[in-house]
Structure 1
Amino acid sequence: MKTVTVTENQKLKAAKKIKEMYGHIDYRNPPQWCPIRDVMAMASDKWSILIFLYLGYFPVLRFSQLKRYVYGISNKVLSERLKVLEADGYLYRQMYPEVPIRVEYQLTDFGHTFLEKLLELTEWAEKYGDKVIANRAEWTNK
């Protein structure tokens, strides 16, 4: 099992950043709408993450290609996720008036900025995934 060491300085920097970003929130009377939760929920569900990763790897994909790559997703859910990601500005959808109609998807520049952060989180998950699984198993066996 890998040992993770976090210095006191890292802890203090994180606490300071959180206070700078969210110090204005009165936690005795929390807001009904949380922009962080709203944005992160839309862009970080299990299907959207895979859509981002595949569109980051392949510059342009058609619906059927995405369906093949994002294993286990239904047509309905894929269509819904693509609409939400397009509405939020992460994706660009190009439809060609052909028979049959051809529709292609690609990340916007804005989508690429999110992909950069997602890749950082993905690297973290790869580095510490074994630790999470070991911690989970240890907790389950208590």
Structure 2
Amino acid sequence: METVTENQKVKVAKKIKKMFGHIDVRNAEYCPIRDVMALASDKWSILIILYLGYYPVLRFNKLKKYVYGISGKVLSERLKMLEADGYISRTMYPEVPVRVEYGLTGFGHSYLLKLLDLTEWITAYSDTVIKNRKKFKKP
């Protein structure tokens, strides 16, 4: 596997300092990173965005089927939050019964690209994580 060089560590440290350097941790009631990441990194939101990246348009029941284990209530809440933050669009058609479709916005696609980087990393290192978990559980 790859090793992290000292140069990479320095670059990462600079990025993190730039990210957090302006925040007064004694009075950090609002942290924009934490606020945005709370929804954007939620396991259900990530799966919703990934499936909407694969299927350009999905209806509620199809999303519920693909995002295995999510309840209808939680799916509805996440869709509303993702729409409010601008990741997805909701299109309602005046038919009987009403048809509602969800899709990614341009902003959602830009986030999807970052998620794909993360999922590629997860795919490459999932065996390592599983091995580490097994070693950790041993007495």
- Does the pair score TM above 0.5? yes
Counterpart for residue 67 of structure 1: 64
- Paired AA for residue 57 in structure 2: V
How high is the TM-score relative to the length of structure 1? Answer: 0.92
How many pairs are equivalent? 139
Quote the Cα distance in structure 2 between the aligned partners of 1:37 and 1:128: 25
Letter in 2 for 1:96: Y
Q: Secondary structure at the match of 1:93?
A: strand
Q: Which amino acid is 1:115 matched to?
A: L
Alignment partner of 1:138: what SS? helix
Instruction: Supply the distance in 1 between the matched residues of 2:131 and 2:27 (Cα, whole angstroms).
Output: 35
> Which consecutive segments of 4 or more residues in structure 1 shift more than 6 A?
none
Shift of 1:30: 4.6
Which letter maps to 2:104? L
- Counterparts of 2:77 and 2:19, CA distance in 1: 32
Alignment match of 1:114 (pick from 95, 111, 116): 111
Identity of aligned residues (%): 70
- Equivalent-residue separation in structure 2 for 1:92 and 1:119 (angstroms): 20
Instruction: Give how far 1:8 is off.
Output: 0.8
* Offset, 1:4: 3.9
Task: Write the distance in 1 (CA, Å) between the matches of 2:32 and 2:18.
Answer: 16
Instruction: Determine whether 1:100 maps to 2:97.
Output: yes
Deviation of residue 115 (structure 1)? 0.5
TM-score, normalised by the number of residues in structure 2: 0.94
Partner of 2:37: 40
Residue segments in structure 2 that go unaligned for 5+ positions in a row: none
- Which amino acid in 1 is paired with 2:135? E
Deviations 1:100-121 (A, max 9, x none): 1100000000000110101111
The alpha-carbon deviation at position 83 of structure 1 amounts to 0.3
Match of 1:20 in 2: 18
The answer as to 2:134 corresponding to 1:140 is: no
- 1: CA distance between counterparts of 2:46 and 2:23? 29
